[in-house]
Structure 1
Amino acid sequence: MAVLYFSCNQWHCTQTSPRYTSSRTSKSLQPKEKKIRQFSSALKEEVLGDDKKVEIDKVKMRFAKNSPNEVPTKKNKQSNSGSKNIKSNESEKISFTKETREDVMNEVLSMLGVPYLWGGEDENGIDCSAFTRRVFQHSLAVSLPRTSREQMREGKLIGKSKLDFGDLVFFNTRGVIPSHVGIYLEDDLFAHASESFGVTISSLESSYYNSRFVGARRIVK
């Protein structure tokens, strides 16, 4: 079980953890003391419940070693010089070739360790919906809405047993549906901007995320 030490004097609570240590820090913001206490409590709950440790280095190696025969290949993505706005009433799944899959993973891996910052949208700090939006924008030239609630209205509903690479996974972490979003990878792993760990890769099988999973959406074009 991960041990986390909190220093909650800004929206991002800096921490050290055996799971992932980042040298990146977010810009300081000064919330009220009550919000600090609530935020700290939520972080501790996530850490205690995130009991399925993911070895990030092994995940990196797994995706780096994928050969064309190991990657589920769909029809090639059509070239497009601009961003594609999502249309929820269409049913064509975004195609993940070996190349587009690698593009997504490269963007995810480049952001690992970026601290969580509510309202943040870049390497200085980022929140969960900004992270999913950034990955889709930078790797697929697809524009998602800004918030997790808006993103949960996009694409088509997918059952948990049917999850595939690139699906959005949603959670109730704050008594609101949804209040958290990530990107499904494979083998019950998903990438997300965690309030406790920053941008990281977690397991859907952890007691924390398994009990808070509320649905998944497959983005279509």
Structure 2
Amino acid sequence: MAEVQIRCYEDEDEEDVKDIFTLGMSEHVPSSCMHVLKLPHTQMLLACVFCALMASSKSLLLPILAVTLLLAAGRQLVSYMFSNYIQVSLHKDLNHIRQTYLEQPNSCFWVAESQGRVVGTVACLPAEKNEGCLELKRMSVKHSHRGQGIAKALCRTVADFARERGYPAVILYTSIVQTDAQKLYEHMGYRKVREFLLPTAVARITNFTLIEYRLDLQQVEN
């Protein structure tokens, strides 16, 4: 944590913030592909296609080519899902951070700065679906600066902000493939509340599950 400062977002941070978010989300494409590949229905589909083509063509090349094309299509599907989420997030709030987080009550956006460069982000605002709670959002740390306690400091910043304003809890959502994030949140005292599928066709096909976590601030204080 040496030489790292947590401060409020400034307008000149915009491009750095969007770059950190975009790169951070893109990192999850490979692990998401592995998640899809491990699904029973994915393995059954690949096996059936391979066996059917092997039996009908009596050639090894055709089934291998077909399975390779299916794997490539699956990766494209996962990449599309993350690309779409990035674009939605930019449109929803990251293209107008000041209006969304700094000009609204009980909301804020912070960056972690190291040697004059933005290396991490986090934000919060009143939760839409959990009345009376704050929602932690846009947590991300540059790959080169992970393992230095920056994410923990950003988590504590949100918890302190919520506590100062009398909120009983902080909630957040992360995905099933973000295992490092899950470990971090659980280490910081968050407990898993529920798991649910995103209401999109791609999410249902890929069994892409979100996890809701909750940090009860009174419990932390005690």
TM-score with structure 1 length normalisation?
A: 0.30
The answer to which structure has the higher helix fraction is 2
TM-score with structure 2 length normalisation?
A: 0.30
- Say which one has the larger Rg: 2
